[in-house]
Amino acid sequence: MWKFIKNIPKYIWLTLRYMRETFWNLLMIFFIVSMIGSISSSNQIEPKQSALLLNITGTIVDKPVPENPLEIWFAEMMGEDTSIRRENSIFELVEKIKQAKSDTRITGLIISLSKFYGSNSANLQTLGAAIEDFKESKKPVIAFADSLTQQDYYLASFADEIHIAPYGSVDIHGFATSNLYFKSLLDTLGVNTHVFRVGTYKSAVEPYLRDDMSPEAREMTNRFLTGLWDNYLETVSNNRHFLKKEEFFTDSNSLITELKANNGNMAKLAYEKKWVDSLSDRSQIENTLDFKFGITDKENSSNYISIYDYTLNNTLETLASKPNIAVITIDGPIVDGFNGPGYAGADTISEQISEARRDPDIKGLILRVNSPGGSVTAAEVIHAELEAFKLAGKPIVASFGGLAASGGYWVATPANYIVANENTLTGSIGIFGVIPTIENSLAKVGVFSNSVATTEFGSGTVTEALPDALKQMIQLNIEYGYQRFIGLVSASRHMSFERVDAIAQGQVWIAKDALKHKLIDEIGNFDIALEKMKSLTEINQLTLKWYKKEPTFFESIMLQMNAAVDSKLSSYIPESLMPYVKSLSQYEALLSQTTPSVGGAKVFVLCETCSDNAF
């Protein structure tokens, strides 16, 4: 026994040494894998008279998380299909298609979406517009798949030909969105949720107050979903040469009748409705591609180069010039502090804006916004820095992605000009705060809380009922925040306070309605924002500087490990529940990163309804 006790320090030392060696071995593996990855990525394939294969793997986003070989290594060790986690920059994809249009080595475009896992409707429209522009080169565009989801079909509809398998389908079902409501659960648990808000349509707090959607929220949601659905049908019906969108998709009952007439054969139905051009198995599609684009000499396969092997070329003008326009992206919920995976940190964004303002070579800023909003204090930090940028005599053009709502719109108010995609959801001008207390929950199990405070304001705690004076203070602060929000919009958009209030109240608007209400200046893509910046700066040759915060070495390691574990866990969650899980994870980050305001309440300018899960 004494011998064992005497050896305890030895065992501890051996354990520590083993942990240290393991750690440094992991670091060495990281360096080796990273080096191999960087070398392999630099060895791009040069196209030789071939088609460009748009084989998008993963999702399309505004600001992708940098792909790291260690992340791939960990994920593959855990048996994960890493393709689902790949994030593609919408801007890089568009630039490659633009280049391919005039590249004499590229003979056509092939769209293959078997491993495409979606994007927001604004990015899909932007990519579709790039494909439509490519077609002006008179090079053929062919799309093929076993089956096509609703998002897949949107992109495929821009092709000259669409081919699906005889056993496949085209899943067009319309748009929908749903929320979970848990007032009854909170009542059962004895949780008192104290909600403070301004805005009749500010529905983010409804899950705490109701067990169903309010009539106002239902009316608003139906309005913008109908707008998105009309845009979808208008685009795909035009692409497929239907005279009216009603001819492309009538109604659910008619579709069921037609499906019955085809004995439930979805592929045959799609062909008869002229949604697709042929029902072809994989060997037949290979023959079509071989005929259109030829066969490679070495591999005896269809002649194409993947979008991932096709490199962008820097022009002589770009190589010779310094960046003169900053591009800063606000992607995800806006939180206090620094950027993290899935959210935009006010400190990171404000530092980037400040750096651009102090750079004498930077003459203007394009603010790319794809955010449902977030923390009021975070939005104010970013807003103040943008005002300073503007006061320095440098113009700001805001480019809206899929979402620019609530706090996402707040931060854009200093912009000289606002451009939104036709599928952008914006507005949601409102504000709210939430404080839950659990005094009733504790009482159910015989636990009670008493406190002593010098004022009523100091006695607010989660374990006791909120004092009336504290509730009044918080509500007054929320009302001040709303007045502040309305005032910012009124001043920046040159509208009366009353007019802004009439279109505010938390209402969400699709781009065409936002334009009508003068919340934006123009409907268009990122290219339109660039053209406007040329006009404001009187610079014909814009050279962009994309501001990105790269994670530190140790942050990168932890992010990769966490991502691999989280992704493996997500594989056990039903796909139908993933939108809720994703939403909850974003709210967890938002709540944990938000600094409490008056009375301990966390105050938000957030549009919870504006989820693009509808697609």
Q: Are strands 334-335 and 544-546 parallel, antiparallel or unpaired?
A: unpaired
Task: Give the distance, in angstroms, between the CA of residue 493 and the centroid of all CA atoms in the same chain.
Answer: 26
Tokens found for residue 381: 């930090």
Structural contact between residues 432 and 185, judged by C-beta atoms closer than 8 angstroms: no
HSE value, Cβ hemisphere, 13 Å, CA-based, for 313: 9
**Neighbouring residues of 541: CB distance < 8 A, sequence distance ≥ 6:** 317, 321
Tokens found for residue 265: 């054969």
Q: From the DSSP assignment, how many helices (H) and strands (E) are in the chain?
A: 23, 22
Calpha distance 298→312 (Å, rounded): 25
Q: First and final CA of the chain: distance in angstroms?
A: 68
Calpha distance 123→134 (Å, rounded): 17
Structural contact between residues 367 and 386, judged by C-beta atoms closer than 8 angstroms: yes
Calpha distance 515→522 (Å, rounded): 7
435 to 65, 161, 387, 609: CA distances (angstroms): 33, 55, 32, 20
* Catalytic residue of the set 157, 280, 406, 597: 406
Structural contact between residues 352 and 381, judged by C-beta atoms closer than 8 angstroms: no
* Catalytic residue of the set 96, 101, 202, 471: 202
Does 406 qualify as catalytic in the annotation? yes
**With helix as H, strand as E and coil as C, how does 285-339 read?**
HHHHHHHHHCECCCCCCECEEECCCCCCCCCHHHHHCCCCEEEEEEECCEECCCC
Q: How many other CB atoms sit within 10 Å of the CB of residue 382?
A: 27
Burial class (CB in 10 A: 0-12, 13-18, 19+), 410: buried
Q: Active-site residue numbers?
A: 202, 406
